[in-house]
Amino acid sequence: MSGATNSVAYHLDPLSSQLFGLVARPRPIPEPGPDQVLVRVRAASLNRRDLMLMDGTYPVPTAPGVVPLSDGVGEVVGVGANVTRVAVGDRVTSTYFLHWIDGPQRLSLVREQFGANHDGWLAEHLLMHQDSAVRVPEHLTDAEAASLPCAGLVAWSALARPLPVEPGATVVTVGTGTVALSAVQFARIHGARVISVTSSPEKAQRLQELGADETVDRTEVPDWERVVLDLTDGEGAEHIVDAVGLETLPKSIAAGAYNAQVTLIGAFPGGEPVTDPFAGRYLSIRRIAVGSRTDFEAMNRAIVAHGTRPVVDRVFGFDEAADAYRYFRDGRPFGKVVIQR
Ligand SMILES: NC(=O)c1ccc[n+]([C@@H]2O[C@H](COP(=O)([O-])OP(=O)(O)OC[C@H]3O[C@@H](n4cnc5c(N)ncnc54)[C@H](OP(=O)(O)O)[C@@H]3O)[C@@H](O)[C@H]2O)c1
């Protein structure tokens, strides 16, 4: 198979006149090196960071001509001589960061990311080091399995680390992005009570179907933190998964109980610094980035045990990649936008 030119990949070329700078080019199918795994891609999915990488607002610069997308799934079709973690025929995805295998996050471990400065999943084939390979739960469709590495794992990390959410604890999720949707599912896996903040009755209904116990419509009640306090007899919630950013941080803090954990996942745009964000409350804030391979594998075990399925909004064909990006940007999806071969 080496040297064949029948494998197509999309490359990010900001100077191209193609929509979103996505240029499809044939390239030779690579031959795996001794520690590498060659994957035939079946599906890939979009995250907010994939739009940020295009407009230059992502903290990691995009490598020129990189193949985008951190999330995908495929079948192993070739392995190098030293590969033991996976075998030909396995269905795998990749870690988000190439080098964060286990333990706490370190700057040196998160510099290299698929679809940013290392070729990602918007291709017919992907080559990765065996350390990046993660088997996906069997009960998931390809579209669902392609939804796990970024938004799924960061939601898991928010609720399982450093201490797992305790049964009966109250978890607040903010929004209906894919991080928040996964957080609702994982909070329920932990046996938590879930209060979800959203912006319409339709989304509230869908959040309840997904597992939210209570919903607050922030367009009707902008002071949603007060509703959280009312629903918790004035105590506040033990966990707040804030997947929006500094804009919602003061409300997330105000919704927190003493000793609550507020987990900041949303990107930080520039702007005015927040003054006195704690407002006298006694709680912890941490900012997290996705998770390690060990976290990913723990999440997958929980997904298998509970039969959890990521929420998929819409699936596009491989030759409709630009349409998928446009729908993801403009179509207000509820769940993942997937590109499938
Ligand atoms: N740190 C990490 O490892 C990591 C990983 C993945 C994503 N992220 C970041 O996390 C953020 C969320 O990403 P995502 O893909 O899940 O979601 P998203 O597509 O960015 O959507 C965010 C949702 O938040 C809600 N929202 C927006 N503004 C709000 C406000 N002012 N107050 C309350 N809710 C508001 C909206 O939902 P409703 O209409 O339902 O209110 C919106 O759909 C992004 O910034 C993304 O870059 C970080």
Spell 195-219 as b/e; 16+ CB within 10 A means b. bbbbeeeebbebbeebbbbbbbbbe
Protein residue closest via CA to atom 7 of ligand 1: 151
Give me the pLDDT at residue 10, please.
97
Rounded Cα–Cα distance for residues 106 and 141 (Å) = 33
Give me the pLDDT at residue 163, please.
86
Give me the pLDDT at residue 242, please.
96
Whether 215 lines ligand 1, by a CB cut-off of 6 Å, is no
Whether 105 lines ligand 1, by a CB cut-off of 6 Å, is no
Token look-up 């295998």 returns 101
Cα(180) to ligand 1 centroid in Å equals 7
Cα(84) to ligand 1 centroid in Å equals 37
Give me the pLDDT at residue 15, please.
78
Give me the pLDDT at residue 271, please.
53
Give me the pLDDT at residue 339, please.
98
Give me the pLDDT at residue 193, please.
98
Domains belonging to the chain, first-starting first, are: 7-149+310-340 (3.90.180.10), 162-287 (3.40.50.720)
Strand partners, 174: 197
**Which residues in the chain come in under a pLDDT of 50?**
1-3
Whether 60 lines ligand 1, by a CB cut-off of 6 Å, is no
Kind of pairing between the strands at 125-129 and 91-94: unpaired
Rounded Cα–Cα distance for residues 305 and 325 (Å) = 33
Give me the pLDDT at residue 268, please.
64
Q: Are 12 and 66 in contact (CB under 8 A)?
A: yes
Give me the pLDDT at residue 127, please.
98
**pTM, 2 dp:** 0.95
Q: Are 11 and 23 in contact (CB under 8 A)?
A: yes
- CA-based angle 311:56:74, to the nearest 5? 40
Rounded Cα–Cα distance for residues 41 and 180 (Å) = 27
